Amino acid sequence: MKILVTGSAGFIGFHLSRRLLEAGHAVAGIDALVPYYDVRLKQARHARLEREAGFTPHIFDLADAPRLAEVLRQEAPEVVVHLAAQAGVRYALEHPESYVHNNLVATSTLLEAVRHQPVRHLLMASTSSVYGANTAMPFRETDAVSTPLNIYAATKLATEHIGHSYAHLRQQPTTMFRFFTVYGPWGRPDMAFFKFTDAILAGRPIDIYNHGRMERDFTYVDDLVEAITRLIPCVPQAGAPVAPIDSLSPVAPFRVVNIGNASPVQLLDFIAEIERATGRKAQRNMLPMQPGEVLKTWADSSLLEALTGYRPATGIATGIAAFVAWYHEYYAV
């Protein structure tokens, strides 16, 4: 198949593109190389992909509607996986405009372009952050989500709703993923697992918010990519739920699917695992809760399993060891 991946120079887009190329698909990757974090890492990911036959990079901003229409016409993909976004909770406190542009404007531009050139399946990334202040655990796709706690979550929730409207109006089959804290090799330098490893190896203290009293459903990137590749052929069909727990819309070929490990880990246990993998003790800088953060995330992954027969299972000992090994190799430290 010809698959268009947006955010192909990003952490998840890189891993997904690599997996799709290995499976023999052709991948057209779009990325604007946004300088939110080290652009050299994004360029290195793309350079890796460019070594594979079947990868075509396109460097531009998705909000550029004429260019996007031209690339879609030229590439004629059967499937679009939309991962490009402004991610991160803390950055949103100071730079809400980046979330409005890269999440709302860019995603709307993509949906409008796909309207003129429909695809067999459109899959788009949302986040566990949309569960906001919900306290009923584990989080289910059918839970009400109306309490986003930060601009990142609010813009992602809006893209779910805009995606639903397009799926309804245009009968465009659409799957919305809700990812739960993804980590692994080639990861994002703004995320805690990366920052902690970086600081511990350099002998700098690490900032631990809410005195470590937080839990996250950490999901290893290879498991996430496995789940995405299995969801590509699961095209939602209006009126055909797969199970009583299905989140399928009653009025559109649209569903939301959690992709998480379904086993939350205490932040301090996660840090202890990084200490084990690096062989160093962290200097802990205990801080109060950051505004906009949630205390705990926990995915119910029954729907993913009902759809694909698969559920993520890699534990943090294996996942962190793989990340730290990559870090040593990539940064030669």
Ligand X SMILES: NC(=O)c1ccc[n+]([C@@H]2O[C@H](COP(=O)([O-])OP(=O)(O)OC[C@H]3O[C@@H](n4cnc5c(N)ncnc54)[C@H](O)[C@@H]3O)[C@@H](O)[C@H]2O)c1
The binding site for ligand X (CB under 6 A) comprises 7, 9-13, 30-34, 42, 61-63, 83-87, 102, 106, 125, 127, 179, 181-182, 188
State how far the Cα of 185 lies from the Cα of 327, in Å rounded to an integer.
Answer: 7
Shortest distance (Å) from residue 238 CB to ligand X: 25
- Per DSSP, 286 falls in state E
Q: Name the burial class of residue 203, with classes exposed (0-12), middle (13-18) and buried (19+) by CB atoms within 10 angstroms of its CB.
A: exposed
CA separation, residue 67 to residues 31, 58, 101 (Å): 13, 10, 17
Beta-carbon neighbour count of residue 103 at 10 Å? 24
| Nearer to ligand X among residue 174 and residue 181 (C-beta) | 181
Relative to beta strand 206-208, strand 215-216 is unpaired
Shortest distance (Å) from residue 63 CB to ligand X: 5
| Nearer to ligand X among residue 4 and residue 248 (C-beta) | 4
| Nearer to ligand X among residue 81 and residue 307 (C-beta) | 81
State how far the Cα of 214 lies from the Cα of 197, in Å rounded to an integer.
Answer: 18
Shortest distance (Å) from residue 231 CB to ligand X: 14
- Can you read off the two tokens belonging to residue 58? 């396109």
| Nearer to ligand X among residue 143 and residue 280 (C-beta) | 143
Shortest distance (Å) from residue 250 CB to ligand X: 26
Q: Residue 257: enclosing H or E segment and its boundaries?
A: strand 254-259
Burial 119-149 (b: 16+ CB within 10 A, else e): bebbbbbbbbbbbbebeebbbbbeeebeebb
| Nearer to ligand X among residue 33 and residue 65 (C-beta) | 33
Alpha helices by DSSP H, listed for 135-191, are: 151-170
Residue pair 174/163 in contact (Cβ under 8 Å)? The answer is yes
Shortest distance (Å) from residue 183 CB to ligand X: 7
Beta-carbon neighbour count of residue 59 at 10 Å? 14
Q: Does residue 152 carry a catalytic annotation?
A: yes
Shortest distance (Å) from residue 25 CB to ligand X: 19
CA separation, residue 18 to residues 121, 229, 235 (Å): 19, 11, 22
Catalytic residue among 36, 37, 152, 183: 152
Using Cβ positions, the residue closest to ligand X within the complex turns out to be 10
| Nearer to ligand X among residue 181 and residue 249 (C-beta) | 181
For the annotated catalytic residues, the residue numbers are 152
